[in-house]
Amino acid sequence: MNKAMIFNIQKFSLHDGPGIRTTVFFKGCPLTCLWCHNPESQAMEQEMLYDREKCVMCGMCAKVCPQKAITDVNNSMVTDLEKCDFCGECVIYCIPGAREIAGREYTIDEVVKEVLKDRIFYEESGGGVTLSGGEPLVHIDFVEQLLKRLKEEGLNTAVDTCGAVPFEYLERVAEHTDIFLYDLKLVDDEKHQAFTSASNKGIIDNLEKLTEIHGNVHLRIPIIDGVNTETSFIEETLDLIEGLNITEVHLLPYHSIARHKYKKLGREYEDALMKVPTSETMNRFRAMLADKGYNVKKEENREGLH
């Protein structure tokens, strides 16, 4: 049975396409963006999130763990992931809610059943279902079949992609996708590699090819002070997308509210390198794009910035 690892099915999403939407967040991504607001989306496998600030050190998680994978290390309940099978017993018995499992396998039927619960909201608002992540297209076989099912149900579909996948994957889902939300982080390849751990040459090439075969591509650009707030970045972006069939451009201002997620994953968050862009910067970038005839949306600070 075809399954995929999903870490959240978020209802009443208002920023992942038109109308009221349900956003399905897949685990696994070929990029590791320094500013990623969903760090639990990067790895393909399940992960344990542990909030030491909520933990009262009652030791119940260690007592109920069938695999004896949890021990007290320096006044912190540490999980040995080589022993842990993510059965969830520790989560169930953690009264303060200090433990959380990121990711579980879903079948296509399970996802369709869940998103159809809100069909009335899609119909009334012109909304639908958005596949996000992580990078949903790393689960290409699952996503292709899921999109077909969603279209059979008459739902509007969107795919939020970083573009760092074989172009064949974009081709396979194009006819079943109403909107592509296409991320463009940086134009300069050297900076792109420094901040995302991957080249952007394939990403840019895929963007150009995608706009040739699909008529509704929305470009999404994260704006991060310390990374890409030079005026030259938007000038480079305008040069890059000139002549491409881009129907909308979304500017996504950086914020650091996902810092707590990194801490719960036991990872460092290098926010000293990144700051929230000023309103002046956001307005200047919006004006530069609008002057070239682009329909520009400036979204408010929110979780989900990739």
CA distance 164 to 185: 12
Is residue 150 within 8 A of residue 43, CB to CB? The reply is no
The full set of domain ranges for the chain reads 3-44+106-298, 47-102
Class of domain 47-102: alpha beta
Is residue 43 within 8 A of residue 148, CB to CB? The reply is no
Tell me which H or E stretch contains 179: strand 179-183
Homologous superfamily assigned to 3-44+106-298:
Aldolase class I (3.20.20.70)
Amino acid at the residue 164: A
Q: Looking at residue 303, what is its pLDDT?
A: 46
pLDDT in tens, the chain (306 residues): 599 999 999 999 998 999 999 999 999 999 999 999 999 999 999 999 999 999 999 999 999 999 999 999 999 999 999 999 999 999 999 999 999 999 999 999 999 999 999 999 999 999 999 999 999 999 999 999 999 999 999 999 999 999 999 999 999 999 999 999 999 999 999 999 999 999 999 999 999 999 999 999 999 999 999 999 999 999 999 999 999 999 899 999 998 888 889 999 988 888 778 899 999 999 999 999 999 999 998 765 444 455
| SS3 at position 187 | coil
Q: One fold for both 3-44+106-298 and 47-102?
A: no
Q: Looking at residue 268, what is its pLDDT?
A: 86
Q: Looking at residue 300, what is its pLDDT?
A: 55
Long-range residue pairs from 51-55, CB within 8 A, at least 24 positions apart, any chain:
51/97, 51/98, 51/99, 51/100, 51/260, 51/263, 51/264, 52/76, 52/98, 52/263, 54/96, 54/97, 54/98, 55/94, 55/96, 55/98
Q: Looking at residue 258, what is its pLDDT?
A: 83
